[in-house]
Amino acid sequence: MTTTCLPRLNARATPASSLMHGRTLTETGIVHLGLGNFHRAHQAVYTATALDHADGPWGILGVASRSAAVADALRAQDFRYSVVEIAPGGARVVVPAVHTGALVAAHHPEAVVDALAAPATRIVSLTVTEHGYTFSPRTGHLELDHPGVRADLRGNAPPRTVIGQIVRGLQRRVRRHPTPVTVLSCDNLAGNGHQTARLVREFVAALPSGEGDELAAWLDEAVAFPNTMVDRIVPATTDAERAAVADRLGLRDDVPVPAEPFTMWVLEDRFPAGRPAWEHAGALFTGDVEPYELLKLRLLNGTHSLIAYLGALDGRATIPDAIARPFVADAARRVLHDEYLPSLTVPEDIDLDAYVAQLFERWANSALGHRTQQVGSDGSVKLRQRVPEPALRQLRAGRVPHHLALTVAAYLCCMAPPSGFDAGPHAAAMSDPARGELREAARRTPSVRDFVATVLDGGLLGDRLAEHPVFTDRVAELIGLLTRHGTAAAVTDAARAADAEAPPAT
């Protein structure tokens, strides 16, 4: 169906049956950095449900980093958009209607700092992807050599990096009216609240002498950085969602968001300036988010990476197509059960068998069309959160984590295919800040073994895995198998080698 002739979704046109709450939002209590699909299908939906139960000053100002496409479309639609929940049996369309404004940081950086400093702002939330935190992949510390970080530290112009924006916003806030605020990371980082707090403090400490002292003291008193675990598979938008909205609502929505029906949010309840009643939307508040984060980061995200890279190398465009290949599903099961699971403590309220069965169902949701390219992108920053700890745990116990090595090998084949090997279109379409560097390393190093050693020594997965030559050897071998004998053969070899080892450490 062509949607251009339909009336546009806006405040007047939204059908009551799809509207998630009936309130008029007059106050903007949340400034959200990262106006991408994930935020609009996750936190925004939780906030809409919370508002349906309890009123509050919880309008959201969404800040896109560079592209004006979503912000402009939202403005033209009175900040309305639809979430198309796609289950294998059909779709449901809802309109959260919680945004009260939209900004593009690259165009109006000063307005972003003002919004962060505004007295009405009680929560600054973030979905800026792993890449957006400007930490060094090797050390995990703020990358002081990053040109954006350097410029933001000099402070002659409005800040461009996320950490710079937060610090400059908080600095203005402390000068004008030092009211408490919560900085809420909703990205897939282990200990995302702790990591954000640390990066903010590192930025403050790197400010010219004296400039950050007042802020540093106030951060301890009045700013909370709760940890959170966020979960919902949210692909990129396609015309299929625009057509679904046209079909269900009879309206044109230029920026609908596809999402799976499943959603989960676990948070620490540290909000010194209050928060929406997200518990009404099913959010779980707990004193210790870490076990949930690790469960999700490793079982879901870690396994997801392996499925994406193997799938792309096998010519599969989507995660459901990839997991439908029995050898990919087998590798996914093995990495999940034998290499990720022993590295974590499953929270008491999680039924592990049901959780894992549900993961496989979620990955197999073919109607959702989640692309291998999307999950495979930014591996250089994502894998660091997923692979090293579980791999080190196995290596220290004298075992080779063959499927984690396979994850790294498949990633490297996608990013920097050895000469003469074609990784295929889905791998070629993956974006990654380290792609250029990895290609250059592959070009310069005479052998695959040297290439792997160079990238691991260079800190691709932090600074400790490189201390285990057996891991480097295995990654290099698996690259050889992937490129010479194909994906299925490499998976078979990993399984055979894993079977030949001692039973997994528990």
Using CB under 6 A, list all residues that contact ligand CS2: 188, 231-233, 300-301, 304, 374-375, 382
Length of the chain equals 506
Residue number, 167 or 300, with CB nearest to ligand CS2 = 300
- Closest approach, Cβ 400 to ligand CS2, in A, equals 24
Structure tokens at 174: 């402390």
Ramachandran class of 191: left when φ > 0, alpha when ψ lies in -120 to 50, beta otherwise: left
Q: Could you tell me the smallest distance in angstroms from the CB atom of residue 445 to ligand CS2?
A: 27
Strand residues in 72-122 grouped as ranges (E):
83-87, 90-94, 99-104
Rounded to a whole number of angstroms, the minimum distance from the CB of residue 435 to ligand CS2 is: 16
- Give dist(CA 459, CA 161) in Å, integer: 22
Nearer to ligand CS2, 126 or 249 (CB): 126
12: helix, strand or coil:
coil
Decide whether 134 or 374 has the Cβ nearer to ligand CS2: 374
Q: Which is nearer to ligand CS2, 169 or 258 (CB)?
A: 258
Q: What are phi and psi of 377, to 5 degrees?
A: -70, 150
d(CA 142, CA 152): 12
- How far apart are alpha carbons 390 and 371 in whole angstroms? 26
Burial of 62 (0-12, 13-18, 19+ CB in 10 A): buried
For residue 175, give every residue at least 6 positions away whose Cβ sits within 8 Å of its Cβ, in sequence order, or none: none
Task: Using the minimum distance from each CB to ligand CS2, give the nearer residue, 231 or 432.
Answer: 231
Give me the least distance between CB of 171 and ligand CS2, in Å please: 32
The dihedral through the CA atoms of 285, 287, 293, 296 has a sign that is: negative
Residues 432 and 134: their CA atoms lie apart, in Å, by 14
Q: How far is the CB of 300 from ligand CS2 (least distance, A)?
A: 6
Task: Give whichever of 188 and 407 is closer to ligand CS2, judged by the CB atom.
Answer: 188
Residue 449 φ then ψ, to 5°: -60, -45
Name the minimum Å distance from CB 14 to ligand CS2.
27
**Residue 60: CB minimum distance to ligand CS2, A:** 20
Cβ closer to ligand CS2: 267 or 375? Answer: 375
- In the complex with ligand CS2, the residue whose CB is nearer, 100 or 129, is 129
For the CB of residue 438, give the shortest distance to ligand CS2 in the complex, in Å.
18
Bridge partners of 93, per DSSP, are 84
DSSP readout, 219-236? HHHHEE---EEEE-----
Residue nearest to ligand CS2 according to CB distances in the complex:
304
Residue 396, Cβ neighbours under 10 Å: how many? Answer: 11
